[in-house]
Amino acid sequence: MGARPLGGDFTRLWTAGSISNIGDGVALAAGPLLLASMTSDPALVAGALFVQQLPWLLFSLPAGVFVDRWDRRRIVVLANIVRAAAVAGLTIAVATE
């Protein structure tokens, strides 16, 4: 008995999740490096890394309440659109500095 293919929906979900996780990893590494290139104060770099993780700390539990009640597909699409807009805005701000 061979393994059955998981289908196109799973492949798209897996691909989107992988790209999102790679982007998160790059942002997590690039944020402090960008700030370290702009300042030599280690406290500012550490503070910026803390602030970078603060939304997860503040919103993860309350977001779970809404995710359980709303359509998950729409939540994922909306969250990724908001994240893309935030990264695009940050990119523009850094590029025009």
Q: Is the pTM of this model over 0.75?
A: no
In a domain, 25, yes or no: yes
Residue 3, pLDDT > 80, answer: no
Instruction: Tell me the average pLDDT of the chain.
Output: 86
CA dist 3 and 76 (Å) reads 29
In a domain, 48, yes or no: yes
Among residues 62, 63, 57, 52, which one has the least CA distance to residue 24?
52
C-alpha of 27 from chain center: 8
In a domain, 4, yes or no: no
In a domain, 3, yes or no: no
How many structural domains is the chain composed of?
Answer: 1
CA dist 44 and 50 (Å) reads 10
Task: Report the pLDDT value the prediction gives residue 35, as an integer from 0 to 100.
Answer: 86
CA dist 93 and 44 (Å) reads 19
Which residue range forms the structural domain that includes residue 35? 11-95
Q: Which residues contact 39 (CB under 8 A, 6 or more apart)?
A: 45
